Amino acid sequence: MSKFVFILFCYIIVSQSISADCSNEPCMLDKAIKSAQNNRVKDPSSPVFSCMLSQWNAKLVESETDLSSNIETYDVFGYERFLACYRSVSKIGAAGEIGVDTEKRKVPNGTRFRARVVCKNGTCSTEWKDTECCYTIDLEKY
């Protein structure tokens, strides 16, 4: 019985170490999404400024990923679902603020914001790239 328990214990340890190995497949997707969420653009005059991004997802950019060098590149997408979001052309006033004397442009509901996130050796850096309108809640373009 003790041999069986020992073999089972060894099997569990080996299988966990294999499952934690990311050398054969990308494993930084969640960390890339978290990096994009934490590094959102806060300047209202930026073309990639958003009010309240939600419904996050990511896609591996295989052409810029090198797993042997521990480099994973993702396009991370966040979707604007807040209906009262405005982007100011100047830095005066807060996003969506009524009564500020500046030209404002509504950020359409369903606008998709794309960030390029590069993860090297477990550390991710985020660069916001562009926006594209408009996507339904099912992520279908309309």
Residue boundaries of the structural domains of the chain: 26-132
Report which of 89, 76, 77 is spatially closest to residue 45, judged by C-alpha positions: 89
Residue 127, pLDDT score: 97
**Which tens digits make up the pLDDT trace of 7-23?**
545 455 544 433 344 65
Query: φ, ψ for residue 29 (rounded to 5)?
Result: -55, -50
- Region 105-129 average pLDDT: 90
pLDDT band at 44 (very low <50, low <70, confident <90, very high): confident
What was the pLDDT predicted at 46? 87
pLDDT at 100 over 50: no
Is the pLDDT assigned to residue 123 strictly greater than 50? yes
Q: Percent helix, strand and coil across the chain, each rounded to 5?
A: 25, 30, 45
